[in-house]
Amino acid sequence: MKYTQLGRTGLKVSRLVLGTMNFGPQTDEAGSHTIMDAALGAGINLFDTANVYGWGENKGRTEEIIGSWFAKGGDRRDKVVLATKVYANMGSDGEAWPNHDRLSALNIRRAVEASLKRLRTDHIDLYQFHHVDRHTPVEEIWQAIDTLIQQGKILYTGSSNFPGWKIAQANETARRLGLYGLVSEQCLYNLAERRAEMEVIPAAQEYGLGVIPWSPLHGGLLGGVIRKEREGGAARSTSGRSADALANTEVRAQIQAYEDLLDKHGLEPGEVALAWLLSRPGVTGPIVGPRTADQLASALRAVELELGEEVLSALDEIFPGPGPSPEAFAW
């Protein structure tokens, strides 16, 4: 496994990040433990989760599964850089209480304690704000985080789904308060969705944040969906923004061109999508969310895949980015 430093920290992390969103909803506890053992055995050391994973009536279940894996011993906890998130309301659906969500000092304190209990650990290495909170003063958020750092309950702080201006606001406020600030940003970024190149990634680079892309296969669209249709197999399910994407004639033509290019070069779509992200400036490592050990094995192959200039140029033609800033903002 290849490693890099997480932004401006001294923390060394793997160039693939194990996402755990499927642990519980899609993969049972035993299967999740198998995947985590395989990931750690392959050298993946950055595990990403969130307090809300498990969803619905099972919020927190994913953290519990990770906690039961840590409890099996074998230095599992010491070998892992553990990342989780705070923001979502953790009350039962339909019974959400005020102050049980967002980034108030009260909820941050409550959420950390609950996550530590579920994860069966005494500290979180990377504590991430899952979304922007437009209602809580930034100073309040940093005061709560500084207290937790002083208590040894968290080590570093990251953001997720922050625009570039919010990254700047958060870190300038931290600087004014004499605090370390954000060290990472999780953002939607892949071949089919490159808007992060306009301001989020430049802001992250300017402030020394590691970039951790989520949805590297864009909900499965970049994983060979048309090929699987043709072969009669079950394509990885798409959801949300990607659910009806292939019904769009232009999108389907774009994905077909992508798969035709990779067929020509004997390359696997999902592996290329990951390898492309690994080649991008500022990227620490994409989050992969395997439901099975086989899916993890495919992701691991991407780390060793070097894309040639011919393929990279062709990918830019199929999925053109916005261009460099500030030119990308010009009409």
Delimit the domains of the chain by residue range. Answer: 3-7+9-218+271-308
Amino acid 193: pLDDT: 97
Amino acid 92: pLDDT: 76
Amino acid 242: pLDDT: 53
Amino acid 107: pLDDT: 97
Among the listed residues 88, 90, 73, 86, the one whose alpha carbon sits nearest the alpha carbon of residue 37: 73
Helix intervals (H) in 207-306: 225-231, 249-265, 269-278, 293-303
Catalytic residue among 53, 87, 180, 207: 53
**Regions in the chain scoring below 50 on pLDDT:** 235-240
Q: State how far the Cα of 237 lies from the Cα of 219, in Å rounded to an integer.
A: 7
Amino acid 135: pLDDT: 96
Amino acid 96: pLDDT: 75
Annotated catalytic, 53? yes
pTM of this prediction exceeds 0.85:
yes
What is the token pair recorded at 22? 């499927």
Among the listed residues 54, 43, 56, 53, the one whose alpha carbon sits nearest the alpha carbon of residue 12: 43
Amino acid 241: pLDDT: 52
Angle between helices 269-278 and 293-303 (to 10 degrees): 50
Angle between helices 269-278 and 309-318 (to 10 degrees): 100
Amino acid 41: pLDDT: 97
Amino acid 130: pLDDT: 98
Q: 3-7+9-218+271-308: what CATH class?
A: alpha beta
What is the token pair recorded at 319? 């999925």
